[in-house]
Amino acid sequence: MEDNKPNENTKTKSKMILQNFYDIAEIMTSAVIAIMIMFTFIFRFVGVIGSSMDTTLAEGDWLCVSAYIAEPEYGDIVIITHSNFFTEPIVKRVIAVGGQSVDIKNGSVYVDGKKLSEKYTRGMTMPIDYSITFPLEVPEGKYFVLGDNRENSTDSRSSLCGFIDEDDILGRVLFRLLPFGNFNVNI
């Protein structure tokens, strides 16, 4: 009878180890699924390509983006998946929304007749493509966006980009992930 006790203890220990393994596997699987759902539907990470948002954002910065935002408004930095000209998502700042008028003159942007105070911009030139004429009205359901580095940005001033459809906005930038320590994107 004494011989059965070590066998029984070994079986019990094996059963407990196996149960712990299954518990850990279940927790890990649940965590991976939760993270996948969160990063697919709630947050995304996007890298900045190019210099169109200098000095606010630099090439190589990584951004945390939320797809769940109220309609973007003036000043929001958004990620755009535009199918006409760009092969990669682009980063731009919302300047005007549907129903607003935009004018660009003497290096300044006017929305609904009011000059914008844009401390984040870096110069203003018109793009090489002069097919967009100002003043203009932004159609409903569309957005007028500009890069902060206006001298090196293909944005709504160019017919290559034009107005942005609300369905083309992937999300609003919440914060900068990298470089670490410089999280702010609102200037």
Active site residue 92: yes
Catalytic residue among 30, 52, 83, 159: 52
Q: How far apart are CA 86 and CA 167, in angstroms?
A: 15
| 119 and 161 together in one domain | yes
Say if 184 falls within a structural domain.
no
Residues 74, 39: Cα–Cα separation, whole Å:
26
Same domain, 19 and 91: no
Asked if residue 169 and residue 124 are part of one domain, the reply reads yes
Q: Average pLDDT for residues 94-109, to the nearest whole number?
A: 91
CATH code of the domain containing 109: 2.10.109.10
Across all residues in the chain, what is the average pLDDT? 81
Quick check: is 5 catalytic?
no
Domain span at residue 28 reads 4-43
Position with higher pLDDT, 58 vs 146 = 146
Q: Are residues 95 and 21 in the same domain?
A: no
Assess if residue 114 is contained within a domain: yes
For 164, list phi and psi in degrees, rounded to 5: -105, 125
Q: Do 165 and 76 fall within a single domain?
A: yes
User: Considering the domain boundaries, does residue 110 fall inside one?
Assistant: yes
Clarify whether residues 84 and 147 are in a common domain: yes
Which of 11-25, 73-87, 95-109 is predicted with the least confidence, judged by mean pLDDT? 73-87
For the record, the structure tokens of 51 come out as 């210099």
Task: Assess if residue 183 is contained within a domain.
Answer: no
- pLDDT of 6 above 80: no
- Rounded Cα distance between 81 and 147, Å, is 15
Residues 79 and 99 grouped into a single domain: yes
**Do 82 and 8 share a domain, yes or no?**
no
Task: Tell me: pLDDT of 83 over 90.
Answer: no
pLDDT of residue 111 exceeding 90: yes
Q: Are residues 25 and 66 in the same domain?
A: no
* Residue 180 placed within a domain: no
pTM attached to this predicted model: 0.74
Percent of the chain at pLDDT > 70 equals 82
Statement to judge: residues 125 and 168 lie in one domain = yes
What does the alpha-carbon distance between residue 139 and residue 86 come to, in Å, rounded to a whole number?
A: 21
Count of domains observed in the chain: 2
The answer on 72 and 23 residing in a single domain is no
Read off the pLDDT band of 46 (50, 70, 90): confident
Q: Are residues 28 and 98 in the same domain?
A: no
Looking at residue 186, its pLDDT comes to: 64
Q: Please report whether residue 89 resides in a domain.
A: yes
Nearest in space to 49 (alpha carbons), one of 65, 61, 33: 61
* pLDDT (mean) for 169-186: 72
Within a domain: 102? yes
Q: Read off the pLDDT band of 100 (50, 70, 90).
A: very high
Of 13, 30, 83, 92, which one is the catalytic site residue?
92
User: What is the pLDDT, as a whole number, of residue 187?
Assistant: 52
Say if residue 3's pLDDT is above 70: no
